[in-house]
């Protein structure tokens, strides 16, 4: 049954007076893996390198943990707590940003994590090479400032996809609430930089490293719209930017063709736009008449797919009530497609300004990654919970799991099984075969040999009967 049919059915049920407290939106989000770290508390710093499938997550112990995205395997630890300023050790990794291949990382470190009593906050931003751990550019933003104007959560930096440019704060006296968003774009190759009069801590490069987008102030103060969007030609930052009449926090698509924005005004609780860069026209607008979104103008509580096809919004005050949480919109829709399962702790914040909470995602927004508390986890954002055609039931056991190819699967009514199929995390069937439950002499247990061509990663293995109805399913990790 498709998501659209389920949604229509749920809507009909919701309009029935005799039924209350209905679930209007389908729930999505299947936990793929989770790693717990004893006594290693998160700072929320996290990023993902899609080319090499690496997850980089920071902690308060001066480390960046390197995790294989497809399997959840911890493969390395990068020590970054040796940066000293003013005699104190900077061991809180507040932010990490990586190139698409994970070869270069921009790292933000501080001496404290929270607003605890302190004489001062000290910070440093540097670029480190992975896996060598060699610091290539140090003290790019080396500041000491008082606790009264701390704003430590606004210390963010973003390295461009291939590592030529770095966007970082430019405040000479630290971060303050009046000017916490000024950007300095550094050309790492040439060693030159240009200051941009922006008003947001979040900026974004396209994949060709030819464009940079961020929020800027309006020429005159407006009581309705707090900002507009500016797009710079990175190859010549001395040129004035091109302005777009949209508001909120902007992103740019990987190909540089579209701008994606989300924010609110005093008159309108929330709005999202997709803008064609060439023509300047808004090609999709999601306004308050479609969904009541209470979103801060620059609060990065959302994540866009890199092709502008969908976004996930962290919305604690959305209306109706069933839309509260992490809701997902597809391009062109006026209502959400789904809501994240509330049993899955994925925050969907991107570069979060929340202490200890941060998320990243694959470019197509099919997998979400969170660095929270004392754990890092991965969630399939496009798998339905409970009612998914693939995830109808759980088997009693599957072993070995992880596996190199063969798995023993055991569940009730396996004697009726006729076929098995394998679905990847994108929801695509990648393998199938005939099932014989008596292969090991047990009518409730069978042996399945996964094809050798299947790459390492997470899969859902499902056994079906003669009518192709699922009997049991399980998430399997293939090495």
Task: Please give the torsion angle defined by the CA atoms of residues 94, 100, 102 and 104, in that order, rounded to the nearest 10 degrees.
Answer: -70
Residue 180 has pLDDT above 60, yes or no: no
Higher pLDDT, 151 or 420: 420
Average pLDDT over residues 96-105: 95
Interval 279-334: pLDDT, tens: 999 998 887 555 444 444 434 467 889 999 988 877 665 555 555 667 788 888 77
Report the pLDDT value the prediction gives residue 10, as an integer from 0 to 100.
Answer: 40
Residue 192 has pLDDT above 80, yes or no: yes
Report the pLDDT value the prediction gives residue 87, as an integer from 0 to 100.
Answer: 60
Interval 430-473: pLDDT, tens: 999 888 755 444 456 788 889 889 988 878 788 888 877 777 77
For residues 303-326, one letter each, b for 16 or more C-beta atoms within 10 angstroms of the residue's C-beta and e for the rest, the string is bbbbbbbbbbbbbeebeeebbebb
pTM, full prediction:
0.73
Report the pLDDT value the prediction gives residue 264, as an integer from 0 to 100.
Answer: 60
For residue 10, what is the DSSP state?
Answer: H
Boundaries of CATH 2.130.10.10 in the chain? 23-384
Top CATH class, 23-384: mainly beta
Higher pLDDT, 256 or 112: 256
Report the pLDDT value the prediction gives residue 325, as an integer from 0 to 100.
Answer: 67
Residue 102 has pLDDT above 90, yes or no: yes
Residue 173 has pLDDT above 80, yes or no: no
Confidence of residue 6 (pLDDT cuts 50, 70, 90): very low
DSSP annotation string for 269-303: S-EEEEEETTT--EEEEE-TTT-B----SS---EE
| Topology given in CATH for the domain delimited by 397-478 | Immunoglobulin-like (2.60.40)
Q: Using alpha carbons only, how large is the chain's radius of gyration in Å?
A: 24
Boundaries of CATH 2.60.40.10 in the chain? 397-478
For residue 319, what is the DSSP state?
Answer: B
Average pLDDT over residues 241-267: 84
Average pLDDT over residues 135-150: 70
Report the pLDDT value the prediction gives residue 346, as an integer from 0 to 100.
Answer: 62
Bridge partners (DSSP) of residue 46 are 57
State the Cα–Cα distance between residues 475 and 15, nearest whole angstrom.
Answer: 36
Confidence of residue 5 (pLDDT cuts 50, 70, 90): very low
Residue 42 has pLDDT above 70, yes or no: yes
% residues pLDDT > 70 (the chain): 68
Q: Which of 71-80, 353-362, 411-420 has the lowest mean pLDDT?
A: 353-362
State the Cα–Cα distance between residues 411 and 48, nearest whole angstrom.
Answer: 36
Report the pLDDT value the prediction gives residue 222, as an integer from 0 to 100.
Answer: 52
State the Cα–Cα distance between residues 97 and 147, nearest whole angstrom.
Answer: 25
SS3 138: coil
Confidence of residue 27 (pLDDT cuts 50, 70, 90): confident
């Amino acid at each position: 049954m498709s998501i659209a049919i389920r949604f229509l059915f749920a809507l009909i049920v919701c309009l029935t007076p005799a039924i209350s407290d209905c679930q209007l939106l389908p729930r999505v989000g299947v936990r793929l893996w989770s790693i717990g770290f004893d006594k290693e508390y998160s700072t929320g710093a996290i990023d993902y390198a899609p080319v090499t499938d690496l997850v980089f997550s920071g902690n308060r112990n001066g480390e960046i943990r390197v995790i294989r995205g497809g399997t959840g395997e911890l493969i390395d630890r990068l020590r970054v707590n040796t940066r000293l300023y003013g005699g104190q050790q900077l061991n809180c990794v507040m932010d990490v940003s990586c190139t698409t291949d994970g070869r270069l990382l921009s790292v933000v470190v501080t001496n404290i994590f929270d607003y605890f009593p302190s004489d001062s906050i000290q910070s440093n931003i540097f670029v480190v090479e992975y896996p060598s751990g060699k610091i290539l550019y140090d003290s790019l933003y080396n500041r000491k400032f008082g606790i009264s104007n701390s704003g430590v959560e606004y210390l963010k930096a973003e390295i461009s996809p291939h590592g030529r440019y770095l966007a970082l704060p430019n405040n000479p006296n630290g971060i303050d609430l009046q000017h916490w968003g000024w950007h300095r774009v550094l050309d790492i190759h040439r060693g030159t930089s240009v200051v941009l009069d922006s008003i947001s801590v979040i900026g974004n490069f396209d994949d060709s490293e030819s464009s940079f987008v961020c929020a800027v102030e309006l020429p005159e103060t407006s009581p309705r719209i707090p900002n507009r969007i500016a797009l710079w030609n990175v190859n010549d930052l001395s040129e004035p930017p091109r302005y777009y009449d949209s508001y909120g926090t902007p992103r740019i698509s990987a190909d540089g063709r579209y701008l994606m924005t989300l924010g609110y005004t005093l008159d309108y609780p929330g709005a999202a736009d997709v803008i064609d860069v060439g023509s300047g026209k808004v090609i999709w607008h999601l306004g308050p008449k479609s969904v009541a979104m209470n979103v801060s103008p620059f609060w990065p509580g959302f994540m866009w797919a890199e092709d502008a096809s969908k976004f996930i919004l962290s919305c604690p005050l959305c209306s109706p009530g069933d839309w509260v949480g992490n809701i997902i919109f597809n391009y062109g829709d006026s209502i959400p497609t789904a809501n994240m399962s509330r049993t899955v702790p994925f925050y969907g914040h991107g570069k979060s300004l929340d202490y200890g909470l941060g998320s990243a995602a694959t470019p197509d927004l099919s997998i979400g990654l969170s660095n929270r508390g004392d754990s890092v986890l991965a969630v399939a954002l496009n798998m339905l919970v409970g009612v998914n055609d693939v995830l109808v039931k759980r088997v009693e056991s599957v072993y070995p799991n992880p596996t190199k190819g063969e798995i023993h699967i055991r569940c009730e009514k396996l004697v009726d099984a006729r076929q098995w199929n394998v679905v990847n995390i994108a929801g695509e069937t990648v393998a199938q075969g005939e099932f014989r439950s008596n292969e090991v002499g047990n009518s409730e247990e069978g042996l399945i040999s996964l094809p050798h061509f299947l790459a390492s990663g997470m899969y859902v293995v499902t056994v079906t009967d003669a009518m192709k109805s699922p009997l049991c399913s399980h998430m399997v990790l293939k090495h």
